[in-house]
Amino acid sequence: MWDLVAIFTIALVGGAVPLLVRWTDRSLHAALALSTGLFLGAVFLHLLPTLTPVVDSHAGHDHGAHDHGGHAHHGQSLPWLFVLLGALGVYLFEALFLRTHDHDDKHRHRAVSMAAMAGLSVHAFTAGISYGLVRNGTDGGQSLLVAVLAHKGFETFSLANVFWLAGLGRKAIFWLVFAFACVTPVGSLLGHALADSMGQGSFTLLHAVAAGTFLFVCMGELLPEVFHHREDSSIKVGLLAVGVALMWFLHGPGV
């Protein structure tokens, strides 16, 4: 049980760090550049690569490509369809239900923060389920634990910064971070039951939706917000690169 307590604690500490800082608009946008880099790294170095085994498994069956080309094509495209649905769904929800003329930026930032929370929670929950399946003291379990611990603090740090951008208060941010910190431990405790009922294909599609959500959040909202003002552009580019590099280091070759 100590391992789940460690996962929860690191997540909570990572999300609490931004709550201890007195942010100015300038410093918040600099921190947001780092958070955006972390999110982009998570999308392109972790979430999207989890979809490739599905594509490869279909591509490896030559007879399927010749005899049932249409079925093979749809099988390969299905995860990417869910990436598209994740990205488009967030945009449509924001544009049709949350956008107003008087407080457009406020509502848009709230939508972005909730989309980031939803996408990251899906990712954290499936990671918890995966860890729950190997949580038995084996080398595989220990390696996955190290990977989960390495990510938790960065994830909640980034999430808290996005909540600051949305104008939420410290108390609200703390409880949202607290709730997110519980997601992976809960997923781990439910790992065996959910894995048996859902199957690997369901996990892949959940990852695809999460990836689409983050693609929209990062490319459509966070990057434009980070570079909305021209000051400190070189610093922001550097922090963006640092965030991606951290994710590359954590996911390195073969991870």
Question: How much is the pTM?
Answer: 0.69
For residue 60, pLDDT beyond 60: no
Of residues 140 and 94, the one with the higher pLDDT is 94
For a pLDDT cut of 70, what percent of the chain falls above it? 75
For residue 143, pLDDT beyond 70: no
Of residues 163 and 74, the one with the higher pLDDT is 163
pLDDT of residue 59: 47
For residue 174, pLDDT beyond 70: yes
Which of 251, 213, 243 lies closest to 117, judged by CA? 213
User: Average of pLDDT values for 120-145?
Assistant: 69
Tens-place pLDDT, residues 26-40:
888 888 898 888 888
For residue 199, pLDDT beyond 50: yes
pLDDT class for 136, splitting at 50, 70, 90?
Answer: low
DSSP H helical segments within 134-232, as ranges? 139-165, 170-189, 191-215, 223-226
Tens-place pLDDT, residues 145-173:
776 777 788 888 888 988 888 888 899 99
Which of 244, 219, 174 lies closest to 34, judged by CA? 244
Q: How many domains does the chain have?
A: 1
pLDDT of residue 172: 93
Tens-place pLDDT, residues 208-255:
887 888 788 888 878 888 887 778 889 999 999 998 998 888 765 444
pLDDT of residue 182: 93
| Coil, helix or strand at residue 97 | helix
pLDDT class for 71, splitting at 50, 70, 90?
Answer: low
Place of tokens 């990417």: 80
Domain boundaries, position 130: 2-251
Which of 51, 50, 73 lies closest to 61, judged by CA? 73
